[in-house]
Amino acid sequence: MPKKTSTTKDHSLRTIIRNNAYMLRMIYSITPGRIFAKLLEAFTSYFTWVFFSIIFVQFLLESLENHRSYHSVVVFVMGSMAALGLLILFTSWYNQRYARFTEQKLYQAVSMKLFKKASQVDVGCYENPQFYDQYTRAASEANVRAVRILDDMAGLITNIGAAIFVMFTMARIDPFVALFTFFPVVANFYIGTKTNKISFQHSQDDVPHHRKMAYVNRVVFLQKYAKEIRLSRIFDVVKNLYDDGAAGILANVKKYMRISIVLQFIRAVLIYPFVFEGVWLYVAWRAMIERDLSIADAAMLANAIVVASNLLTSMMDGFVKVAENGLYIANLRGFLTYKPLIDEDQPGRDITTLDSIEFRNVSFAYEGSEPVLRDVSFTVKQGGKLALVGHNGAGKTTIIKLLLRLYDATEGEILLNGRNIREYRVQSVRKLFGVVFQDFQVFSLSAVENVTMAEQMSGSLREKSISAMKTSGIYDKLADLPQGIDSILTREFDSEGIVLSKGQVQKLAISRSLVKDAPALILDEPSSALDPVAEHEIFEALARTYENETNKIVFLISHRLSAAIMADTIYVLDNGSVVEKGSHEELMVKNGLYRMMYMKQAEKYRELDEYSSVEEWEVKA
């Protein structure tokens, strides 16, 4: 099971910087130009602001006070326009073209890197909600977030530069005015940190309440709940959750309002009116009473404090964003550096043929749960047809997961051709099996591609998949479509896409497992939820498979015992252990669990005079 990496819990400044640097390095390796271009773009927007608010106005007023010629003003203004024109030309190009191109490039490169990793992490990671919420979600957003992380970082850096420049400019004229920036600094970085913490706490406290309200929303609008709601009064009960949620939110407003109002008010007053009006009053006093400040300098200082204060505020926001990004990147790194317990890249033996499979005293438990398999042993040889039957939750599907090395056994060993499964390359082992999963997925590709599942189509592969489709019995149906077996499945991208029925999907799944040409087949509940005729067709497909594939090992999992009869050995699982094994005939003689299950299913299909009830049979037995 996945373990936490050390980076996640650490909120320190160093980790934040390290994590951001990690992301920037990744971006740099993909598109270094984007980093420089973004920095220049951020510089342009800050520069334009600072220039017009401070330098431009100061120059103009100075020209008036010092009676410069109109001509020199024209030269200055036009010169500034030419420089700004170049910078804005650059940002227009950046915004409309360069940023778009590099975004796609990043998106592609980051996605490929992550997809590769995503298909390697243990399947267990997907079933572990903590890993999934923390790491997998981080990875699925990475392509979009990468750009934002760069933008936030570049914004913060230029923001800091601009703030230093403005404060320096102010200090050059009057160091005392520069001291006014002390108030927005305290307000932003001291009080601001406090209010941020409180807001964060507040929104955390609101989460469970919002979830309740969102649940009510889901229940009333999702189709799957619609019938129950209309046929019962359950919504009256569910609706109460909304009121609970609303009451919770109001209680939180009350809980936090006093402290938030006081802190936010003080913060805002210190950032805005206190320094804005304070500096005006101060410069007016110097210009009017002390008479040692020019009008141009006074106006410039009054403008500069507004810019400085706003820069300090956006700087604080920038820090918060970068820190949040740091946490996000930690999760992403957790995903990227995750070492799969079952490593696909680990070197090992290759295996291409399968003479025997042996489970030797295998036990397995999902982390933190009761064992699902206890001391299971069995052997199957080439050509063996094996069925696993038992109650829901008896451990049938787990055996398959171990066999495919989606998990490793907790105790005991699994031997392929007499060697421990762990000695082989994972990829090589997985190639041995063609599998029909219970939760089979159809991809938004053509029907034939859904069977081949290969990157490139070839003539021989196409032939092979056609014959696999014939064995499973889906070929005729597909060939009749206007685009034949090249018809696109699902309506994901194509409103004319083909939507297959459950039975057809099962047949498609069987074709997929056959075309792989693997020495073993695994069929997990291939006939559930089908009508009798469709079920019968699947059984026929299985029978054809058994007939055609005499050399293959076949595992069948089913709680429809009628399907198990075809197997030459049936293993009955109960509560994680093998309780009975043998052929159908042997097991029927044995009078154990299998026979009881079989009789219960069969009872009603038989003529009533044979057995009037299971109870009667049980009495006889």
| 257 near other proteins (CB under 8 A) | yes
CB 11 → other proteins: shortest distance, Å?
Answer: 25
**Residue 87 token pair:** 């910078």
Identify residues 271-330 at the interface with other proteins (CB under 8 A): 272-274, 276-277, 280-281, 284-285, 287-289, 295, 298-299, 302, 306
Nearer to other proteins, 66 or 550 (CB): 66
| 589 near other proteins (CB under 8 A) | no
Applying CB under 8 A, the span of 26-34, 385-393, 462-470, 481-489 interacting with other proteins comes to 385-393
- Least Cα distance to 98 among 156, 158, 40, 43 occurs for 40
- Least Cα distance to 556 among 458, 434, 445 occurs for 434
Identify residues 339-358 at the interface with other proteins (CB under 8 A): 344
| 88 near other proteins (CB under 8 A) | yes
Choice from 411, 492, 517, 586 touching other proteins (CB under 8 A): 492
| 238 near other proteins (CB under 8 A) | yes
| 497 near other proteins (CB under 8 A) | no
Nearer to other proteins, 13 or 499 (CB): 499
DSSP state string for 4-36: --TTTT---HHHHHHHHHHHHHHHHHH-HHHHH
| 126 near other proteins (CB under 8 A) | yes
| 458 near other proteins (CB under 8 A) | no
Choice from 10, 127, 151, 568 touching other proteins (CB under 8 A): 127
End-to-end CA separation in angstroms for the chain? 46
Q: How far apart are CA 98 and CA 92, in angstroms?
A: 9
Half-sphere exposure (CA, 13 Å, Cβ side) for 44? 19
Choice from 155, 503, 519, 576 touching other proteins (CB under 8 A): 503
Nearer to other proteins, 350 or 531 (CB): 531
**Residue 592 token pair:** 């154990």
| 111 near other proteins (CB under 8 A) | yes
Identify residues 402-431 at the interface with other proteins (CB under 8 A): 404, 406, 430
Nearer to other proteins, 153 or 426 (CB): 426
* Phi, psi at 531, each rounded to 5°: -75, 165
Residues whose CB is less than 8 angstroms from the CB of residue 281 and which lie 6 or more positions away in sequence, other chains included: none
| 619 near other proteins (CB under 8 A) | no
Applying CB under 8 A, the span of 104-112, 157-165, 181-189, 309-317 interacting with other proteins comes to 104-112
Q: How far apart are CA 585 and CA 566, in angstroms?
A: 11
Q: How far apart are CA 216 and CA 207, in angstroms?
A: 14
**Residue 102 token pair:** 């590099």
| 81 near other proteins (CB under 8 A) | yes
Identify residues 546-565 at the interface with other proteins (CB under 8 A): 559, 561-563, 565
Q: Which helix (H) or strand (E) holds 361?
A: strand 356-365
362 forms beta bridges with 376
| 445 near other proteins (CB under 8 A) | yes
Identify residues 217-236 at the interface with other proteins (CB under 8 A): 217-221, 223-236
Identify residues 565-584 at the interface with other proteins (CB under 8 A): 565
**Residue 314 token pair:** 């956006």
Residues whose CB is less than 8 angstroms from the CB of residue 40 and which lie 6 or more positions away in sequence, other chains included: 90, 94
Residues whose CB is less than 8 angstroms from the CB of residue 106 and which lie 6 or more positions away in sequence, other chains included: 27, 30, 31, 34, 143, 146, 147
CB 281 → other proteins: shortest distance, Å?
Answer: 5
- Least Cα distance to 426 among 402, 394, 445 occurs for 402
Choice from 322, 386, 435, 469 touching other proteins (CB under 8 A): 435
CB 175 within 8 A of CB 205: no
380 forms beta bridges with 357
Nearer to other proteins, 17 or 81 (CB): 81
| 439 near other proteins (CB under 8 A) | yes
Q: How far apart are CA 28 and CA 21, in angstroms?
A: 10
CB 559 → other proteins: shortest distance, Å?
Answer: 5
Alpha helices in 337-395 (DSSP H): none
Q: How many residues sit close enough to other proteins to count as binding (CB under 8 A)?
A: 163
| 132 near other proteins (CB under 8 A) | yes
Identify residues 140-179 at the interface with other proteins (CB under 8 A): 140, 143
Sign (positive or negative) of CA dihedral 170, 174, 180, 185 = positive
Identify residues 10-69 at the interface with other proteins (CB under 8 A): 48, 52, 56-57, 60-61, 63-65
| 250 near other proteins (CB under 8 A) | yes
